[in-house]
Amino acid sequence: MSIEMFLVGFLFLFIIVTITISSQLGNEVGFGESDLDIDEKLQGIIDNPKRFRMSVHLALVEHGAIIALAIVMFVVFSPYNLMLGSVWLVSRTVEGLINFDNQKNYWGLFRVAGQYSDASGDKTAMGDLGRSIVETKAYRFSFAQILFAIGTIAYTLVFVLYEAVPLIIGWLGLIAAILYSVGNGIIVVKPKNKIVASLGGLLIFLFEAALGIWLIYSSIFIL
């Protein structure tokens, strides 16, 4: 069994699981956050602070796993093409660091929710501060996802050019990453235009799930 390939597959699936749970707990993934009702968001944190804390902790674990994934993928696949390997190592590591720092700033929403709860009069100032935190998180997320797309394009090019994984998986990932990159570029300019990025995100989900399963299977039964 190839331990490194198994670990890459495991990390892909682990990241999918953690980001899904974190999102379900209220730590929404960037695209929709700037459209949230901030008063409802703050009240939700007040009503269930443990849920919010858990969502942030899971997101921090996920971003750490992204950095680990970038490193292990470099070890496994960079022998095919060192230049492309360096591109995905740098881009995905920086992406993970940006999102890690983003979650630390997002934690400030917990403090704002406490002030919001204690306020007896006009709560507009706390609402505006909370909205600023959420919008900053959404903007940084969109920028970090451009780095994610660049890294994904780099390693899917390796998959397609060198047939390091089944071609259908490689082509799915390459098409998804290009769509996702274009979509996030559109969001940076026009934050409400999310159709292309959402489609790319769906294809990315399918690609990463298929890749993770294939890598685990191949590391156990094929290699």
* pLDDT on residue 143: 81
Q: Which residue has the higher pLDDT, 72 or 103?
A: 72
pLDDT digits (tens, 9 = 90+) for 157-173: 999 999 999 999 999 99
Q: In Å, how far are 40, 107, 171, 199 from 178, measured between CA atoms?
A: 35, 32, 11, 11
pTM, full prediction: 0.87
CA 106, CA 133: separation in Å to the nearest integer?
6
Half-sphere CA count of 50, side-chain side, radius 13 A = 0
